[in-house]
Each structure stands twice: as structure tokens, then as C-alpha cells.
Structure 1
């Protein structure tokens, strides 16, 4: 049985990294208690009470029985922890964004190549959403023909009162396009079957009245891959009245039909998550995807064992990261007037 440990308990996404690997059959050797947000550590203790806590991460890095390190540290620190883990002989699974600068991306690539270790980013809006698993299968089966365009939205609730200070510092979270839009860039490449893309236009802005003007609360990206196009909108404007953290959607336009995912709720409609709507030459239908098994964590364990790339190509990880960084670096920056 493969063992993993958790380092960097600064974001709540650590819960699905730990839980996903446990569900896939791995064993957790423990977690490092270092954090900028004690509530995240408390959440791990509540969800996984049997796991061992370590005050020194060195013990976890030097444990020869540990094969994988999972990390949801402050975004600007994730690459540093990943490099440390790879040099200790561990494969790495990090929360998105895995890097927040071009320099970090180049260092991660270099160290991964030198050590032969896996550097994987868990793009949770694909890998932890059953509806996306179903949509990918439908596209691969040709249900909507050739994909022409994707439109992905990633609205989030701000929850300002419970956010740590780094959450509002661009040099720590990487900017809204690096932080959030990497999800939608990943999905564009996957559903259009593209190995790379071009950032046609990107924009970031500040419109809210509860945060500093330096905080990016809105962003959009237009990207292309040959004749394929993708539009992305991300923001921090989910209203408190919505019963979940964000009404994330993905629309996939094909030559023979359209798929729309309502990932987290069907507003004023069906209860629960993972709603898929498809329209094609025969008509329209609805698919409840909530019971679809997730595959990423089982695949990453197989990749660690067999040194394969079934969960995600290593080059894909780097390409998504680079495109998000390019979109952020070239973004038109406008403020509310």
C-alpha cells in the first residue's frame, strides 16, 4: 500500500487531497501542523481524526515509506515545498496553482527532470467533479461532434471574514487568473484535445467595495488553439444568498451538439450537485452525474507505482501553469470607475 503525507495545510483544498488518496486506497503517514490558518488544521483533525500530526515536516520528508507528498500551502510557497519534496525522493500532488511565477515553473520543471519525480496539480474543478468525468466520456465518444469552443465560469464566494491575510496579497496568491482560471484553462485544453494554446486577451479588475483596490476580484481570458476558442470568467462575487460557494459552469460547444455542466447546483431546480444537460440532433436530455466515480486519485497512485502518466501528462501540467502565468502577466488591468 502506497503511503503519502500532507505538508502545507493553509487551504481547505487539502481536505480533498487527503480524502481522495485515502479513498483510492493509499495510507496517510501523517501531516505537518505548520499553517497560516489554524482552522484548516482543525478541519483536518475533525475529518481525519486518526491521522498522526507532526510538528516537524522533516520527519515526513525523510520517511522512506512515504512515496507522495500532498500540499495546499500558501500558493507562493507550493513550488518551494514541491521542490523540497522531489529532492527528498517523493512524488508531489499540489493544489492549484502549483506555481505563482515563471521562475518557480522553470525550477519545478528542472528539479522534476533531474529527480525523475512526478509534479501533479489537482485541478479540482475537473478532478473532483463527477459531472466533468461524464462530460469527458461523452466528448470522447463523439456525442457532440468536434468541440469548437468551451465557456467556463468560476465564481467564488469571498468569505472575507475567514480568509487569512495572504489571500488578499497578489504576490502570495498569484493573481486571480493564476489562482482560479487555471481550472478553466485545463478544461479548455482537455475538451478541445489541445496540447497548447495562445492567450488572445486577458483582463483583471477590482469592482467590490469590501476589499482593497489592489485585490483582483474579476478576471477573464480569451484563448485559442488553432480554430478552437475558449472564454473564461472568474470572480469573487458569489452572493451570500446562493446555497453554495459558487455556481460553476462549463459549456462545451460541438459541431453536433452542446453540453452544459452545472457543477455545484441547479439554481431553482434539481437538488444536489453535478448536473449535465446535453442537446444534440435527437433532442435534449439531463444526466445526474453525482454518482459517477472519480478517477484522478486512483490514476495518480498507479502513476506513482508504474511511472506512467495516466492521471495527466506531465507536459500538460506545465502548459496549464504557463498559460495561466501568461494570462496574468499580460492582463489588461482596469479599475471600477
Structure 2
């Protein structure tokens, strides 16, 4: 591949996560060839045009068929992401999608087959790791041995419901896959990554509707227990962030190591230090707070390197689909109404 800037297209503008997929790639020197204006949420499109007024709308088929485009990024309705990814890979393009990458095991198999047959990269931008500077700091500390070997994780993913502004598909489990597929894929990714596990066993999972009885099929609470050969993980996700919290969720990650602990308060330190990206380290040397707000994000530059070098530095080969498969299996197996099985 020549030294020209890599070119990408945005197809599937249904979720606001498309903003950081596009924005971070542009910041790392990639060139956006255009975006497909098809959307299920006009507010997402309005926000996109406000952030990227220089970009042009292009017919979807034209973007797929353009041989000069190297990458397709996608934040479509979750059930539509697999088909877009498969078409893009079969058109000779690498793919970066928002989580979840798929909503069914059949879709996972389709993506897996397309990636294997085409040799293209399929990557999921797990934003709660890749767009969080506290996670970059924790990754460095774990690699340096600051807490020894990570043997357990607790990942908490609370979100604000913002019911009045959600599109219709948000409340359709078939469209977004369910709460464990939609949100908990973040925490599954972090469990595998920080423990170094190649895979995991689903021990138990549950989902429930605790606060939205007028939408009986909707799930606003979920939890998962995972286990690998050397570690275990607990995950809790929910839609109960109170309106008084000045951010969309108090996302936290706890890492238990053989020689210490790390706590990440990603988005807020309640009634404590201002700002985001707080890391608390406890080990044999004592206890300290680390302001990680200046850490460099690495996923996007590594992804672009991988496209050029046909490498896997941003994400191990198969990791994205392993996470997705575990999330779907947890959703399928989940006990509904409380109590895990």
C-alpha cells in the first residue's frame, strides 16, 4: 500500500458513536471520502453535519464500489451492522464498527466467514476502552506489573436512559440485541483484555425490567459472571443513571491483581476531583491517584497501521467476534426477572 492517506467512508449513521469513529480517524490523518446520509435518527445526522460540515454525502452503493476507499466505519442500527460489514469486506475494505458488532450468532458466523475468505480486518471500537484515557493508563500500569497478574475484574456500565430522545429501534430487542449484547460487550472486552484471557466461560447471566414496566420487552438491568482458566469477572449494566449526575454514567472498572488493585472512574469522580479519567492505584508502594486525562489514545493510530501493514496491533485477530459471541451467548442464556443462572 502506498504512503497516500488512507481513505474511509461512513456508512450507518444511526448512533452518536459515529462521531468519534469519524473524528478520531480524521485526527490520525485518514481522509473521509464521504458518508451515506441514510439514518433512522435525524438528530444523529444533524449532529454529524454540525461536527463535520466539510464532509459530503454520497450514495451508499457508490461508497461500497469506490476502489480508492480502504475502510468503512459503521454505527448503524445494531442488527444492520453485520450485513454492512460483510458487504464492505467483500468489496475489499477493512471495517471498524461501533459495538455491538452483531446481534445474533448467525451474523457472527457470516462476519467470520467473510473476514476469513477476504483477509480483511473486522474491528469493533469498544469505546469504553479505546476512547477512555483512564483505560490507556491502566493498560500501561498492568503491562508494567504495577498490580501483578490480573485475576478478577468488576465492570460497571450504567447509562442514562434519555427515553424521550431515543429512536424507536432502541426499545426493540431484535434491533439492538438486548442489554447484554448492546452494553455488556464493553465489559467482556475489558475482562479478556486486562486478564489476558484468550477466551472465557459464561458462568451465569440475567436481565430484568425494573423501571420501565410500560415497555415489557425492554431490559434496563443486566449482569454476567465470566470465568477463564486464571481469572473471573463480574459485569453489571443498567439504564438507571439519575438525571442529577452531570454525565451519562458513572462507569467504573476494578482490577484485582496478585500484587495490588486499580480502580478506574472513567467519567466522573462523584463529589471528588473534577474532570474525567481518574485512576486509583494501590500496591506495595502505597496508594495514589493518577490523573489520566492527558494519556494518548492509541486504538485509532494502531488500526490505521494495521490496515497498511496487514497486522493486528489494535486488536488481536478474532477478539472482536469472541467478545460479540460471548455477549450474545450471555443474552440467550440470561435468566429474566432477577437472579443469575
Equivalence for 1:204: 207
Equivalence for 2:106: 103
2:74 to 71, 74, 93: 71
Equivalence for 1:193: 196
Equivalence for 1:327: 330
1:47 to 48, 51, 54: 51
TM-score relative to the length of structure 1: 0.98
Q: Take 1:335 and 1:328, find their aligned partners in 2: how far apart are those partners?
A: 13
Q: Take 2:328 and 2:179, find their aligned partners in 1: how far apart are those partners?
A: 10
Q: Say which SS state the counterpart of residue 70 (structure 2) adopts.
A: strand
Paired residues of 2:212 and 2:220 also in contact (CA < 8 A): no
Instruction: Call closer, same or farther: CA 1:264–1:224 in 2, change over 3 Å.
Output: same
Quote how far apart the aligned CAs of 1:16 are.
0.4
Give the ranges of 4+ consecutive aligned residues of structure 1 lying more than 6 Å apart after TM superposition.
Answer: none
The reply to whether residue 31 of structure 1 matches residue 31 of structure 2 is no
Instruction: Call closer, same or farther: CA 1:209–1:174 in 2, change over 3 Å.
Output: closer
Q: Take 1:227 and 1:140, find their aligned partners in 2: how far apart are those partners?
A: 17
Instruction: Call closer, same or farther: CA 1:260–1:49 in 2, change over 3 Å.
Output: same
Quote how far apart the aligned CAs of 1:314 are.
2.1
| 1:252-291, Cα deviation, whole Å (9 max, x unpaired) | 0011110000000111111111000011112100110011
Quote how far apart the aligned CAs of 1:63 are.
1.3
Q: Take 2:122 and 2:196, find their aligned partners in 1: how far apart are those partners?
A: 21
| 1:17-74, Cα deviation, whole Å (9 max, x unpaired) | 00110111101011000000011111110001101112x2011111121100000000
2:297 to 294, 298, 323: 294
The reply to whether residue 13 of structure 1 matches residue 17 of structure 2 is yes
1:134 to 133, 137, 162: 137
Q: Take 1:172 and 1:235, find their aligned partners in 2: how far apart are those partners?
A: 18
Aligned length: 335
Kindly report which structure 2 residues correspond to 1:147-186, keeping only aligned pairs within 5 A, or say none: 147-186=150-189
Unaligned segments of structure 1, at least 5 residues: none
The reply to whether residue 217 of structure 1 matches residue 220 of structure 2 is yes
Paired residues of 1:157 and 1:236 also in contact (CA < 8 A): yes
Equivalence for 2:236: 233
Quote how far apart the aligned CAs of 1:211 are.
4.7
Equivalence for 1:122: 125
Q: Take 2:251 and 2:93, find their aligned partners in 1: how far apart are those partners?
A: 33
| 1:143-180, Cα deviation, whole Å (9 max, x unpaired) | 00111100000000000000000000000000100000
Equivalence for 2:308: 305
Q: Take 1:77 and 1:143, find their aligned partners in 2: how far apart are those partners?
A: 41
Unaligned segments of structure 2, at least 5 residues: none
Paired residues of 1:207 and 1:335 also in contact (CA < 8 A): no
Q: Take 2:192 and 2:129, find their aligned partners in 1: how far apart are those partners?
A: 12
Q: Take 1:303 and 1:265, find their aligned partners in 2: how far apart are those partners?
A: 33
TM-score relative to the length of structure 2: 0.97
